[in-house]
Amino acid sequence: MAGRICCGLIPHLEVARRPELGGRPAVVGRTDGRVLAASPEAAAAGVQPGLTLRQAEALCPAAAIVDADPVATSRLADRIAIELTELAPAVEVRHDGRVWLDLAGLPLPAHALAEARRRLRALAGTEPRLGLAAGPFAASLAAARARPGRLLRVEDVRAFLGPLPVTELPGLDAEQLERLDLLGLRTLGAVAALGPRQLESQLGRAGRTAVLLARGEEPLPLTPWRPLLVTGARCQLEPPVEDREALLFVARRLCGDLAAELGLHGAGARKLRVRLGVEGGEPEDRESTVRHPLSSAAELFGLVSSWLREWQPAAPITEVSIELPELESAGRRQLRLWMGGDGSAEEVEAALERLQERHGREVALSIRRLLVASAIPRQRYRMEPA
C-alpha cells in the first residue's frame, strides 16, 4: 500500500453531534456572532465559517441557528478518537471533521480502513469520505475529493497535488495568498517548483512550510490523540488562610476548573487527593478511591468539602492542591435526559455511594431479615450500610 495515512472527512463535529439536524440547513454560531460551522445544506446555500450570523441568515433563511457547545464537541472528538485508536496506533481528530489514522505497520490496513469507515459512519451519522496518501496533508485533500463512503488513494503525490489551487495550503492568511497570486503562484505545482528558502524570504516560515507541503514532503506530522491520564489544580494562598469558608471557596473554584477539564476529555476521576500546604510544616493530605468516577464540579466539591469541613490543619494554609491521579472514561455516566421510566440501578447506587462518602456509611442502609416472626420489633430486621 503506497499511502500510510488515512484521512476520514465527516461534517464539523458541532454539526455531526446533532443528528436531529440531519438533512436540514443548520448553522452553528460562535459567541462572537460568527459562523463556526454549517451543515452541508447550509453550505450549499453559500454559508461559510467566518461569516456573521446575519449574513448566514440572509443567505439561507431556512437555516436553524444553534449555539456551539465546545464541551460536548470535545466529548464527541474523544469518542471518535477512542473508537479509532483501537484500529490504528496514532489517531488525530479535529473539530472541523477531519480525522487521521496512521496505518503504518498494521498487518491488515484494508481491514482497518473498512472498520474506520463503519465506525465514522456510526458516530457521525453520515458516510465519511476517505483519502489515503503518504502524509496527512495529501490524505485530507484526497478525502475532500472522494465520494461519500469511498476511498481515494493517492499513488503519485506530486502529480495529485500539482494542479490543486494554493488556497488548499493551510496556515496562509489572505494577505499571503494575495502575495502568492501576485507572484503568479496559483497552483501547488508552481509552489513546489520553488525552493523552500525562496518562498520563505517572501512569506516567512509559512512559505517554507507551503513549499514542503506542495512537494508532498509533509512537514506537519500528526498530533496523536492521547487519553488524559492525570490532572490536578492548585492555588497558592498569600497570606496564609485560616478561615474555613475561604478555603471552601478556593476549593469550589478548583473543583470547577477540574470538572471543566474532565468534561473536555470525557473523563471521570477514580481517585481524588487533596493536599494542604501548611505554614512552616509538612503538607497534609487526604486521598480516597471512589467506585464510580466523579466528573462534575458538584461531585468533586461534594467530596472535597466534606473533608475540608472537618479538617483540623496544624497551621494556616499556604496552598490548596487537588489532584486526580486516576482517571477513566466517564462516558458511561452520562445522565439520560428525559428518561421516561425507571433509572438505572448503577446511577442510583453511585448517588448512594457519594452520599455515604459525604455523610458517612450509616446514611444509606439496606434491610436484612432476621427473626421476622419475633414480637420484639428490633429482632425482626437489621439495617446495615448499603
Partner 1 sequence: MPTEKLQSAIGAIHVRFGSHALVQATRLPAAQPWSTGLPAVDRLSGIGGLPRGRLSVLQGSLGAGKLSLALALLARASREHARTIVIDRPGVFDPWIPDRLGADLGALTVVRPGTPVVAGEAAVALARAGAGFGLLLEAPPEPALAALESAAARSGSLVVVVPDGDGERRALAHASSLTLQLEWLAPLLEGNLVAGARSLLRCVKNKLAAPGAEAELEVRYPLAPGLAAAEQPLEVARTTRTTRTAEEESWLDESAAG
**386 part of the interface to partner 1, by CB under 8 A:** yes
**352 part of the interface to partner 1, by CB under 8 A:** yes
Give the integer Cα–Cα distance in Å for 51 and 57: 10
- Please, what is the minimum distance in Å from the beta carbon of residue 371 to partner 1? 10
Q: Please work out the total of residues on this chain that contact partner 1, with binding judged by CB under 8 A.
A: 44
Taking contact as CB under 8 A, which single stretch among the options 72-80, 133-141, 188-196, 378-386 is the one that binds partner 1?
378-386
**363 part of the interface to partner 1, by CB under 8 A:** yes
User: Per the omega criterion (within 30 degrees of 0), is the bond before 163 cis?
Assistant: no
**52 part of the interface to partner 1, by CB under 8 A:** no
**310 part of the interface to partner 1, by CB under 8 A:** no
| C-alpha 23: how far from chain center | 25
Taking contact as CB under 8 A, which single stretch among the options 80-88, 309-317, 319-327, 351-359 is the one that binds partner 1?
351-359
Closest to 325 in 3D by CA, of 236, 235, 228: 228
Pick the closer one to partner 1 by CB: 44 or 298.
298
- Please, what is the minimum distance in Å from the beta carbon of residue 244 to partner 1? 17
Eight-state DSSP code of residue 165: B
- Please, what is the minimum distance in Å from the beta carbon of residue 59 to partner 1? 14
Q: Which amino acid is at 141?
A: L
**339 part of the interface to partner 1, by CB under 8 A:** yes
Pure H helices in 98-164: 109-124, 136-145, 157-161
**Interface residue with partner 1, options 58, 62, 108, 246 (CB under 8 A):** 62
Question: Longest C-alpha distance within the chain, in Å?
Answer: 101
**370 part of the interface to partner 1, by CB under 8 A:** no
Give the integer Cα–Cα distance in Å for 146 and 196: 30
Can you spell out the DSSP letters for 317-332?
A: EEEEEEEEEEEEE-GG
Taking contact as CB under 8 A, which single stretch among the options 125-133, 227-235, 274-282, 371-379 is the one that binds partner 1?
371-379
26-29 vs 64-67, strand pairing mode: parallel
3-state secondary structure of 271: strand
Pick the closer one to partner 1 by CB: 65 or 206.
65
- Please, what is the minimum distance in Å from the beta carbon of residue 29 to partner 1? 10
Pick the closer one to partner 1 by CB: 220 or 371.
371
- Please, what is the minimum distance in Å from the beta carbon of residue 228 to partner 1? 25
**Interface residue with partner 1, options 66, 91, 151, 320 (CB under 8 A):** 66
Give the integer Cα–Cα distance in Å for 73 and 200: 36
**337 part of the interface to partner 1, by CB under 8 A:** yes
**Residue 33 zone, left/alpha/beta (φ > 0; ψ -120 to 50; rest):** left
**122 part of the interface to partner 1, by CB under 8 A:** no
Q: In what order do the strands lie in the sheet with 231-241?
A: 231-241, 317-329, 267-278, 284-294
**359 part of the interface to partner 1, by CB under 8 A:** yes
Pick the closer one to partner 1 by CB: 89 or 385.
385
Taking contact as CB under 8 A, which single stretch among the options 123-131, 168-176, 183-191, 356-364 is the one that binds partner 1?
356-364
**380 part of the interface to partner 1, by CB under 8 A:** yes
**340 part of the interface to partner 1, by CB under 8 A:** yes
**36 part of the interface to partner 1, by CB under 8 A:** no
**297 part of the interface to partner 1, by CB under 8 A:** no
How deeply is 201 buried, as exposed, middle or buried, from its count of CB atoms within 10 A (0-12, 13-18, 19+)? exposed
- Please, what is the minimum distance in Å from the beta carbon of residue 322 to partner 1? 21
Q: Say if residues 258 and 292 touch (Cβ distance below 8 Å).
A: no
3-state secondary structure of 248: helix
Beta-carbon contacts of 70 under 8 Å, excluding residues fewer than 6 positions away, are: 264
129-133 vs 151-153, strand pairing mode: parallel
| C-alpha 263: how far from chain center | 8
Residues in the site for partner 1, rule: CB under 8 A?
A: 20, 57, 61-62, 64-66, 335-345, 347-352, 354-355, 359, 362-369, 372-375, 377, 380-381, 383, 386
